[in-house]
Each structure stands twice: as structure tokens, then as C-alpha cells.
């Protein structure tokens, strides 16, 4: 202690008592169980948070569950601890009042250097704490943008989407790159709707299945086009479709088509083909009168040469049914690519793939029909399906032909395992996601159910001259 300090202390000798009172409060914190709890929680969580942060920055380990702990659980604990400390101090202070110490003695006195020291200490600690919290909040914000956070933290709700996503071409693209996109406005909207969703999950009031299409999805121009753009598409793409029938499980029917992917034609410098709808100077608008956007009575076009047209379906339902939603929408990527990453299968396609890859032995009579029947049966839970699919398939086969079932027992068990696998990739009874809950618009397989290109390309939408939106097979694909 310097001469000066001593002098000051002497000058204010009566401050001794006052100082003691204040000091007692601080020290008293240690004696109040609440205070000890607050101080320990804060100290432990700060220490673990700093350790977790350093470990993650140095790349010592990178485990999403530890991030969950570092960025969500520990900061919560730290804030709780920090709230407990002043609460304990306040309660302690009230006790001092009860024991008759005058309020004056409990005032903070800035001309008292001990008080100043205490305050400066408090300030320094707060700055350190707040800095750590800011770093954690920044890192934690990135963490809440990760696919792991979206897909796993809301595990049950998003399990179908996350599972399908993981085996899709976009499994390295973060959820937020399609669902939120860049910019502060959508960020704020997304976090607000995120909060609403968390409430819906906590109160168990979310819709099952989660409805598609997502009406407030960010326009694809701002998301997909960060990575794919119409000028980039060109030429044709050959695709092969293989299918079997119940009568012929061994010789596949093969369809090979060359899709006119189109987009920009470098020779004519024009936009054409399938990606014409989303090319620069073209605008296609359509009126949908149901939530799923499958019923389209009107289509408007503005072509690159400036001409405009409206196609109307003569007997189309012009108005939305009660409670349905009606909207004019500018066509973009997701009106065709509505399943770019949450890609669910058709049961028959998966079974045909099993026959082709021989995971289902095609020599077993009736196995295609029985597999389809089993895998589309209703099970109450995924666990139940996992247990029962194998035995159910076996039972059907035994009914069909006991001798054959015996002869191919091993193959039928193996087929059962394959069925469990495809079931678990596509069906979630708990959230009402079944085969065909989420259909794709890419193509015209499901035209009868209102999905795909033939919603407009049906030769029934006519303009004033009686021209229609063409269903000519050669418009979209030819034989390679
Ligand atoms: C490549 C872009 C893309 C990525 C990446 C992506 N989504 Fe989607 N998601 C979509 C589109 C497009 C739709 C809208 C489908 C529709 O309108 O029919 C959608 C719909 C959904 C839906 C509504 C239900 C449904 O299946 O239509 C949920 C829930 C969802 N996504 C969650 C996620 C989660 C969780 C992730 C990350 C694990 C993710 N998405 C990643 C494009 C994406
Ligand atoms: C962050 C970049 C990114 C975004 C955003 C993105 N994609 Fe992709 N997309 C990719 C990558 C990478 C691939 C895989 C390319 C490959 O496998 O060769 C891909 C592949 C595709 C394919 C081809 C799939 C196949 O079966 O080969 C389609 C179709 C597609 N994306 C559509 C979309 C649509 C629609 C959106 C918006 C909803 C979108 N993408 C958003 C990066 C992106
Ligand atoms: C009119 C419907 C339609 C629209 C609109 C559309 N696409 Fe496509 N797209 C298709 C079809 C059909 C294919 C070929 C299908 C297949 O590969 O199975 C395709 C293929 C693709 C591919 C793969 C190309 C390749 O060579 O393999 C990508 C990437 C893609 N689209 C992205 C987009 C993006 C991004 C948008 C929006 C800017 C968009 N598409 C708009 C129908 C459409
Ligand atoms: C919302 C309605 C709508 C849907 C859905 C739709 N189209 Fe179209 N399509 C149109 C209209 C309108 C035209 C232009 C007709 C005209 O100009 O006379 C068109 C034109 C085309 C053309 C010719 C482009 C050119 O070169 O001029 C192709 C190819 C095409 N569509 C393919 C598809 C494919 C493939 C799908 C499904 C994956 C699809 N369309 C879905 C409305 C639609
Ligand atoms: C508006 C565009 C369009 C028109 C018109 C069209 N198709 Fe297609 N077709 C598609 C697209 C897109 C796919 C690819 C779907 C996919 O990638 O899964 C397809 C796929 C197919 C397939 C393979 C699918 C399978 O499951 O085997 C066949 C076969 C086919 N089309 C036949 C036809 C015939 C026949 C016509 C004429 C009556 C026709 N298409 C008219 C767009 C069209």
C-alpha cells in the first residue's frame, strides 16, 4: 500500500464500518448457498465453454454433440449462474437490513477506493464474460445453421427430411442455403419462424406430415441460383428407366429417353427446352387453387420476344375449395424440382431395383407382389415395421407356396432385410409420412394424382387461338 493510500484511509477512518458492511455482502455470498451455487455454475460453465471453444478452434475434436453442449447448454448455465449471483447478493442485502444496518452503509461510495476496486473488478469480469458470450453466440449462430442442428436437434420432427437429405446429391449443402439464403431480412424471418417452430414442437402442435409445398420458402432465384443458373444448362441428358411386372420378374422393361434439358443454346443464343421456363426473359405464372399446387386452371406466359399469352383450362376448377388457398405464382425451380434433396422413393421402383440388383431373388414366384404388399402395409411404428416386415413376407410366401418358401428360405429372409431398409428410408408412421406423402413433380409418372409436367402440358389449357400447352412427347424427350 502506498503512502498516499494510507493517508486516505486515515482521513476516512469512519469508513471502516461501511467498508465492512459492503465487504460482508460480497464475502457473505460465499456463505449463502444460492451465492455459492451461482458462482460455481458460472465458473464451471465458463471454464468448460472456453475449453470447448479452444478445442473446436484448434480442431482437436469436432463432434456435433459437444457443440450442442458448448453453444447451447453451457451458455444457458452461465447466464443462469450470472443471474443467481446478484439475486443472492440482493437477498443477502435484505438480510442486513433486517439486522438493522442502516441503508447508508450499504450504498456504493465511489470515493472509497475499495468500492472502486470492487466495481472495477466487477466491470472487468463482466467484460470478460460478455466477450466470451459474444464469441459463443457467434459460433453458436453458425451452429444453429448447420444441417446437424436442423436435422437432429429437432430429431423426430425432421427425421424424414434429414434422412432423405443425407442420401441426396445435396447432402453437403446446408439446410439454410435452400431454406433461408443470404441477407438479413430472411435471416430475421427465418429465426422468428424457427422460434415459432420450436414452440410448435414443444407444445406438440406441429402438423403431421409437415405440409408441402412450403409456401413461405425463399424464391429459388435467391437460393438454387447461387449454385446452378439457367445459362449453365445445355443439351440433352440420357436417362434409363428399368421396371418389372408381377408377371415377369426377370426380364426388365427398359425405357431410355434423352431429356431436352435445354437452357441456353450456344449456337442460336436462345433459351429452349426444359429450362426455358426459368430462362432470363421468360416469365411463366400460374394460378393454383389448392394447397398442393396440383390443380392449375390458368397459366400466363411472357416470352423472350415480348409476346404474352394466357392458357385456360375449359373445365378447370376456377376457385379454391372451402378452406383451400388460392395463389398466382411465378414458376421457378421448385415447381419442377420440388424434391431436390428430400427425395422419397416410390415403393414399386425400390422393389424393382431390388429385383434388378438381386437383393430380392427374382426366381421366387410372386415375390414382387408379396414384397409390395408387405412394404406398404400399415405398421404403428418404425420399430414394429422393423420386427414384422421379415416375418410378414415369409407368411405371405408360405401361404402362396409352402414348398417354395422352404426352398428359398434364406433368400426370403434376405429380401425381408432389404424391405426393412427401404421402409426405414421412406416411412415414418409417427409423423404420418408414408409412401407417396411427398411426391415429385419431375416427370409425369404421377400425372393421375396431379403431379408433374402434365399439370400444364395436358392439351387442355387453351389460349384464344385454340393453341394448347403441348403434350407432344418429342417436346421434352426423344430416343437417344
Ligand atoms: C437443395 C436444397 C435444400 C436443402 C439443402 C434442404 N432443403 Fe428442405 N426443402 C427444400 C425444398 C425445395 C422444399 C419444398 C418442397 C416442396 O415445396 O414441395 C423443402 C422442404 C422441407 C420441409 C417440409 C416438408 C417437405 O418434405 O417438403 C422440411 C421440414 C425441410 N425441408 C427440412 C430440411 C432440413 C432439416 C434440411 C437440412 C438437413 C433441409 N431441409 C435441406 C430444399 C432443400
Ligand atoms: C450450395 C450450392 C447448392 C445449392 C444452393 C443448390 N444446389 Fe443443387 N446441386 C449442388 C451440388 C454440389 C450438386 C451435385 C452435383 C453432382 O453431383 O455432380 C447439385 C445437384 C443438383 C441437381 C442434380 C441432381 C442429380 O440427380 O444429379 C439438381 C436437379 C439440383 N441440384 C437442383 C437444385 C435446386 C432445385 C436447388 C434449390 C432448391 C438447388 N439445387 C440448390 C449444389 C447446390
Ligand atoms: C419445367 C420444369 C423445370 C424447371 C422449372 C427447372 N428444372 Fe431443372 N430439370 C428439369 C428436368 C425434367 C431435369 C432432368 C431430370 C432428371 O435429371 O431426372 C432437370 C435437370 C436439372 C439439373 C441437372 C442437370 C444435368 O445436366 O444433370 C439441374 C442442376 C437443375 N435441373 C437445376 C434447376 C434449377 C436451379 C432450376 C431453377 C433455376 C431448374 N432446374 C428449373 C426440370 C425443370
Ligand atoms: C405451370 C405450368 C407448366 C408446368 C408445370 C410445366 N410447363 Fe412446360 N411449358 C409451359 C408453358 C406455358 C410453355 C410454353 C407454351 C407456349 O409458349 O406456347 C411450356 C413450354 C415447355 C417446353 C418448350 C420450351 C421451348 O423450347 O420453347 C418444354 C420443353 C417444356 N415446357 C417442358 C416441361 C417439363 C419437362 C415439365 C415438367 C418437368 C414442364 N414443362 C412443366 C408451362 C408449364
Ligand atoms: C412436358 C414434358 C414431357 C412430355 C410432353 C412428355 N414427357 Fe415423358 N418424361 C418427361 C420427363 C421430365 C421425364 C423424366 C422423369 C424423371 O426424370 O424421372 C419423362 C419420362 C418418361 C418416361 C420414363 C418414365 C418411366 O417411369 O418409365 C417415359 C416412358 C415417357 N416419359 C414417355 C412419354 C410419352 C410416351 C410421351 C408422349 C405422350 C411423353 N413422355 C411426353 C417429360 C415429358
Does pLDDT of 3 surpass 70? no
The single residue listed with the C-alpha cell 436435422 is 151
Q: What's the CA-to-centroid distance between 438 and ligand 4, angstroms?
A: 22
Report the atom number in ligand 2 closest to the C-alpha of 174. Answer: 1
**CB of 175 sitting under 6 A from ligand 1:** yes
For ligand 2, say whether the CB of 147 is within 6 Å of any of its atoms.
no
Please say whether the beta carbons of 232 and 263 come within 8 A: yes
How far apart (Å, rounded) are the C-alpha atoms in residues 251 and 267? 42
Ligand 2 centroid – CA 295 distance (Å) = 27
CB-based burial, 466-476: b 16+ in 10 Å, e otherwise? eebbebeeeeb
- The Cα–Cα gap between 184 and 141 comes to 13
Angle between helices 15-31 and 74-98 (to 10 degrees): 130
Ligand 5 neighbourhood includes 420 CB (under 6 angstroms): no
Determine whether the shortest distance from the Cβ of 442 to ligand 5 is under 6 A: yes
Provide Rg for the chain, Cα atoms: 33
Q: Is 455 in the pocket of ligand 1 (CB under 6 A)?
A: no
444 Cβ below 6 A of ligand 5? yes
All three cell numbers of 348, joined, read 414399386
d(CA 250, CA 284): 44
For 64, 92, 378, 421, 446, the CA distances from 427, given in Å and listed in that order, are 26, 58, 10, 10, 19
Question: Which has more confidence, 385 or 193?
Answer: 385
For the ranges 26-30, 82-86, 371-375, the one whose mean pLDDT is highest: 371-375
Task: Measure the CA–CA gap between 33 and 63, rounded to whole angstroms.
Answer: 35
pLDDT tops 50 at residue 30: yes
Name the pLDDT band for 6 (thresholds 50, 70, 90): very low
Cα-Cα end-to-end distance for the chain: 93
CB 469 within 8 A of CB 459: yes
Ligand 1 touching residue 161 (CB < 6 A) = yes
Query: Which residue has the least CA distance to atom 13 on ligand 4?
Result: 469
- Can you give the three-state secondary structure of the chain, one letter per residue? CCHHHHHHHHHCCCHHHHHHHHHHHHHHHHHCHHHHHHHHHHHHHHHHHHHHHHHHHCCCCCCHHHHHHHHHHHHHHHHHHHHHHHHHHHHHHHHHHHCCCCHHHHCCCCCCHHHHHHHHHHHHHHHHHHHHHHHHHHHHHHHHCCHHHHHHHCHHHHHHHHHHHHCCCCCCCCHHHHHCCCCHHHHHHHHHHHHHHHHHHHCCCCCCCCCCCCCCCCCHHHCHHHCCCHHHCCCCEEEEEEECCCCCCCCCEEEEEEECCCEEECCCCEEECHHHHHCCCCEEEEEECCCCCCCCCEEEEECCCCCEEEEEECCCCCCCCCCCCCEEEECCHHHCCCCCCCCCCCHHHHHHHHHHCCCCCCCCCCHHHHHHHHHCCCCCCHHHHHHHHHHHHHHHHHHHCHHHHHHCHHHHHHHHHHHHHHHHHHCEHHHCECCCCCCCCCCCCCHHHCCCHHHCCCCCEECCCCCECCCCHHHHEECC
Closest ligand 5 atom, residue 440 Cα: 18
For atom 12 of ligand 2, the residue with the nearest CA is 170
What's the distance, CA 253 to chain centroid? Answer: 37
Q: Of the ranges 139-143, 323-327, 470-474, which is most confident? A: 470-474
Q: Is 302 in the pocket of ligand 2 (CB under 6 A)?
A: no
- 178, 217, 432, best to mutate for ligand 1 pocket (most atoms within 8 Å of CB): 178
Q: Is the pLDDT of residue 139 over 90?
A: no
**Closest ligand relative to 165 C-alpha:** 1
pLDDT of residue 232: 77
Q: Is the CB of 260 under 6 A from ligand 4?
A: yes
Query: What pLDDT score was predicted for residue 362?
Result: 96
Nearest to 422 by CA among 356, 380, 384, 375: 375
- Looking at the CA of 459, name the nearest ligand: 5
Q: Is 92 in the pocket of ligand 4 (CB under 6 A)?
A: no
Q: At what angle do helices 33-57 and 74-98 cross, to 10 degrees?
A: 160
Tell me how crowded residue 453 is: count the other CB atoms within 10 A of its CB.
19
pLDDT, greater one: 125 or 392: 392
Q: Which atom of ligand 2 is nearest to the CA of 226?
A: 5
* 453 Cα–ligand 2 center, Å: 20
Is residue 338 pLDDT above 60, yes or no?
A: yes
* Least confident window among 264-268, 417-421, 457-461: 264-268
Question: What's the 72 CA to ligand 4 centre distance in angstroms?
Answer: 48
Residue nearest to atom 25 of ligand 1 (CA): 212
**Looking at the DSSP assignment, which residues form a beta bridge with residue 238?**
258
CB of 51 closer than 6 A to ligand 1?
no
Ligand nearest to the CA of 168: 2
Mean pLDDT, the chain, as a whole number?
86
pLDDT of residue 16: 44
C-alpha cell at 232: 449453365
Q: For residue 265, count other CB atoms closer than 10 A to its CB.
A: 14
- The closest ligand to the CA of 333 turns out to be 3
What is the pLDDT at residue 4? 44
- 265 in contact with ligand 5, CB cutoff 6 A: no
Q: In a mutational test of the pocket of ligand 3, which residue from 173, 177, 227, 228 has the highest number of ligand atoms less than 8 Å from its CB?
A: 228
Give residue 276 CA to ligand 2 midpoint distance, Å: 18
Does residue 455 have its Cβ closer than 6 Å to ligand 4?
yes
Please tell me which residue, 2 or 143, carries the higher pLDDT value.
Answer: 143
pTM: 0.84
The Cα 122–Cα 18 span in angstroms is 19
Q: How far is the CA of 164 from the centre of ligand 1 (A)?
A: 10
344-357 pLDDT, tens digit per residue, is 999 999 999 999 99
The mean pLDDT value for 226-232 works out to: 82
Among 245, 256, 257, residue to substitute to test ligand 5 (most atoms within 8 Å of Cβ)? 257
Average pLDDT over residues 253-257: 95
CB of 342 sitting under 6 A from ligand 1 = yes
Amino acid at each position: 500500500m502506498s503512502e498516499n493510500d494510507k493517508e486516505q484511509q486515515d482521513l476516512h477512518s469512519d469508513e471502516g464500518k461501511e467498508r465492512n458492511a459492503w465487504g460482508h455482502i460480497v464475502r457473505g455470498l460465499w456463505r449463502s448457498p444460492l451465492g455459492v451455487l451461482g458462482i460455481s455454475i458460472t465458473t464451471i460453465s465458463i471454464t468448460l465453454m472456453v475449453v470447448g471453444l479452444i478445442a473446436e478452434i484448434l480442431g482437436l475434436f469436432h463432434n456435433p454433440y459437444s457443440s450442442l453442449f458448448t453453444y447451447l447448454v453451457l451458455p444457458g448455465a452461465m447466464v443462469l449462474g450470472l443471474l443467481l449471483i446478484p439475486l443472492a447478493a440482493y437477498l443477502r442485502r435484505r438480510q442486513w437490513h433486517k439486522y438493522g444496518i442502516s441503508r447508508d452503509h450499504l450504498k456504493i461510495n465511489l470515493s472509497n477506493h475499495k468500492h472502486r476496486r470492487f466495481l472495477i473488478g466487477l466491470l472487468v469480469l463482466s467484460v470478460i464474460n460478455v466477450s466470451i458470450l459474444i464469441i459463443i453466440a457467434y459460433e453458436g449462430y453458425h451452429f444453429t445453421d448447420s444441417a446437424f442442428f436442423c436435422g437432429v436437434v429437432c430429431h423426430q420432427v425432421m427425421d424424414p427430411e434429414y434422412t432423405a437429405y443425407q442420401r441426396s446429391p445435396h447432402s453437403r449443402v446446408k439446410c439454410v442455403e435452400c431454406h433461408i439464403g443470404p441477407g438479413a431480412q430472411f435471416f430475421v424471418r427465418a429465426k422468428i419462424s424457427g422460434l415459432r417452430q420450436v414452440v410448435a414442437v414443444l407444445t406438440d402442435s406441429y402438423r403431421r406430415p409437415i405440409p408441402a409445398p412450403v409456401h413461405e420458402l425463399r424464391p429459388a432465384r435467391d437460393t438454387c441460383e447461387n449454385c446452378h443458373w439457367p445459362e449453365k444448362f445445355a443439351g440433352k441428358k440420357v436417362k434409363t428407366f428399368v421396371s418389372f411386372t408381377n408377371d415377369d420378374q426377370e426380364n426388365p422393361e427398359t425405357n431410355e429417353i434423352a431429356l431436352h434439358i435445354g437452357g441456353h443454346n450456344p449456337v442460336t443464343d436462345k433459351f429452349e427446352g426444359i429450362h426455358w421456363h426459368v430462362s432470363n426473359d421468360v416469365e411463366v405464372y400460374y394460378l393454383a387453387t389448392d394447397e398442393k399446387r396440383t390443380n392449375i386452371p390458368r397459366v400466363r406466359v411472357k416470352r423472350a420476344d415480348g409476346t404474352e399469352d394466357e392458357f385456360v383450362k375449359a373445365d378447370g376448377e376456377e376457385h379454391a375449395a372451402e378452406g383451400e388457398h388460392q395463389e398466382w405464382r411465378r414458376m421457378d425451380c421448385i415447381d419442377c424440382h420440388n424434391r431436390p434433396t428430400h427425395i422419397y422413393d416410390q415403393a414399386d421402383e425400390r422393389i424393382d431395383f431390388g429385383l434388378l440388383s438381386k437383393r430380392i431373388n427374382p426366381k421366387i414366384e410372386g415375390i414382387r407382389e408379396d414384397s409390395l404388399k408387405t412394404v406398404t402395409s400399415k405398421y404403428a411404428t418404425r420399430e414394429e415395421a422393423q420386427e414384422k416386415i421379415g416375418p410378414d413376407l415369409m407368411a405371405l410366401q408360405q401361404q402362396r407356396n409352402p414348398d417354395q418358401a422352404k426352398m428359398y428360405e434364406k433368400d426370403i429372409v434376405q429380401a425381408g432385410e432389404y424391405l426393412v431398409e427401404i421402409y426405414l428410408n421412406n416411412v415414418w408412421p409417427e409423423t404420418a409420412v408414408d409412401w407417396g406423402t411427398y411426391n415429385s413433380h419431375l416427370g409425369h409418372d404421377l400425372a393421375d394424382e396431379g403431379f408433374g409436367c402434365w399439370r400444364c402440358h395436358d392439351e387442355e389449357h387453351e389460349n384464344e387461338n385454340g393453341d394448347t400447352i403441348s403434350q407432344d412427347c418429342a417436346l421434352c424427350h426423344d430416343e437417344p
